[in-house]
Chain A
Amino acid sequence: MAVKFDKKSEGVYTLDCTGYVCPHPQIYTKKMLEKINQGDILEVTFDNPSSSESIAAMCAANGNEIIEKNAEGGKYIYKIKKSA
């Protein structure tokens, strides 16, 4: 399974890093956030628990807002709004 990028709708993008370990989820998230526009939403899916800490800390540091967090059964879905 390769990392998947998709456009869900206008201004809403998805990034699926399921199966990937550190540092792939956080690096792909960072790169994707750099590419999308301010105000756009990125929905990141991953299943690596330690990446959850890194992505949350990265968003806090860069001023991007995690508007929704879902974590269940080892699967994480974060909705990030690019604010900065």
Chain B
Amino acid sequence: MDEKARKKKIWALVITGFFSLVSVLTYAYNDYYIYLSAYLWFGFIYGMCLQYGRFCFASAFRDLFAVGVPRMVVGIMTATLFFAFVSSFVTATGFSTFHPSPSGIHSTIAGLIFGIGMVFAGGCASGSLYKTGEGNGVALLVVLSISVTQSSFADIGGWFNKLVPNSWHESAISKNLPAVINAGDGWLDQYLAGYVWNHPTLTFAKVLGMKNESFLGAFTGNLLIGVIVPALIMLAIVYVIWVKKSFIRDSIKDSGRAPDLKNHLTGFWRMILSSKRTSIAGLILGVACGLQMFVIEGLRIKFGVRNAGEILGRLGSDFGVSIRGTVFDPGYWYVTTQEAQWVGWVMHKLGWNNMDNIFFGYINGIPNPALNPADWMSLALIGGAAVMALLSNEFKFKKPTKELAVWAILGGFFMGIGSRLGLGCNVGAFFVRVSNGDTGGWLFGLGMIGGAFIGVKFFNWWTERRMAKEMAGLEL
């Protein structure tokens, strides 16, 4: 083993050791910190899986439209199926931490904006985190851009209030939120309280007249109808449009004849297994996501709490907790809200009063990042990805060029806006929701597909332009 590779392996141990030390020391200080550690280690697992499987939601439809590669569409559907399967058990046994979100056309519009952003940024929200762990400076810029955009967008009012329809304003005020939140001021506040909250929260189980927390509702409604059927339809469409042609070509080359339906089923299965790394990562990711819900709910029952805000209160650290005593504590994998929170905390420390809005002041709070379980989940995700990259000798510090920095900031900006409008990102608004039967998940996903299409069109134009410039003197 050469010296560089050996040093990388030592760093992998150091990073793992650091997180282990955090867990051990905090638990030794107070039992409640196991709640933070649970989030941390699931984040670590997610980071390792994402890096190993090159798992990025952005590449799913981007690479399909841009270069005809279905690898990540398959990977995401695999992960979604496994997550949905595990969470169906978790839900049916009453241990789910999931709550569906209000959905409607706004989910699709938000997904569209987010989808454009993730193509520009070169990665989705979770993808940018794991790529930061690979040493990628562009990805770090994306994370910073998403964080700052969200945090600012959550509290922006003034001139932006003029862009709010009067019906939203009236509806927001009628919700009678605490005066300190001032729901009638601020674009996002009026969007949430005056528009989004008026939409229904639906799961496939509910639409079919079944109870979510029943085996029939969870498995037939949410898993079969909500996930398996649409996933199979999507994968069949992908096979027919993007894979069938090459399979026919290979079949004729091998056997001298075109494939029949049975052979096409083999071709379809070959598409599913075409990337072993992605399939393995999807499987572990999906199972881990389901298990996290079970573990967090178990800890809530153990400690007799419904939200980490109560735990922070018991630890005597309730700075930044919302007016209702809550902090962001989804109980499952999430990415963007905690990114907004740490920047919100920094901005608050610098003098910005940003606790007078719904996002921070009423729902999520801005606790100290060092005590925020969700922030530790993201930090450990970066760490887990770094460990995986170091162990496989793929870690490399990469400084962004000016061109890539512009793409990163722009992409992060669109992703930040899209995630607040959609109440989450590729993970929170799509992956988690779809896997738990929330109809809004597919609506956001449709938007992401549209956004990827638009983003790729733009990228093709841009790269064609660059090639023409850079290849000016080259003879082909």
| B interface list, Cβ under 8 A from A | 4-5, 51, 54, 56, 58-59, 62-63, 66-71, 119, 122-123, 127, 131, 134-136, 138-139, 242-243, 246, 249, 274-275, 277-278, 389, 393-396, 398-401, 403-404, 456, 459-460, 463-464, 466-467, 470-471, 474-476
Contacts and interface: CB of A to CB of B under 8 A. Distances in A.
Nearest to B398: A19
Contact of A49 (B4, B54, B467): B54
Contacts of A3: 466-467, 470
B194 to A, nearest CB: 38
Interface string A31-63: 110011100000000011110111001101111
A45 B58 CA distance: 22
B155 to A, nearest CB: 31
Nearest to B53: A53
A73 B4 contact: yes
The 7 closest A-B pairs by CB, nearest first: A74-B396, A50-B54, A21-B122, A57-B69, A22-B122, A58-B67, A5-B471
Contact of A26 (B5, B63, B475): B63
A19 B249 contact: no
Given A2-B470, A6-B474, A21 B67 contact: no
Contacts of B404: 19-21
Contact of B66 (A23, A48, A73): A23
A11 to B, nearest CB: 10
A4 interface: yes
B396 A75 contact: yes
A2 B403 CA distance: 9
B278 A53 contact: yes
A58 B274 CA distance: 12
Contacts of A1: 401
Contacts, number: 127
Interface of A: 1-7, 13, 19-24, 26-32, 35-37, 47-50, 52-54, 57-58, 60-63, 72-75
Contacts of B459: 23, 27
B246 A61 contact: yes
Given A22-B58, A31-B467, A57 B275 contact: yes
B13 to A, nearest CB: 19
A2 B470 CA distance: 8
Nearest to A84: B249
Contacts of A30: 66-67
A29 B318 CA distance: 53
Most central of A6, A22, A35 by chain B CB within 10 Å: A22
A26 B62 CA distance: 11
Given A1-B401, A27-B66, A27-B460, 17 more contacts: A5-B467, A7-B475, A13-B476, A19-B404, A21-B131, A22-B59, A23-B456, A27-B67, A31-B467, A32-B467, A48-B136, A50-B127, A57-B275, A58-B68, A60-B274, A63-B249, A74-B393
Contacts of A36: 476
A58 B401 contact: no
Contacts of A54: 59, 63, 67, 69, 71
A72 B243 contact: no
14 contacts: A5-B471, A6-B474, A7-B476, A21-B139, A22-B56, A30-B66, A30-B67, A49-B51, A53-B54, A54-B67, A54-B69, A57-B275, A58-B68, A74-B134
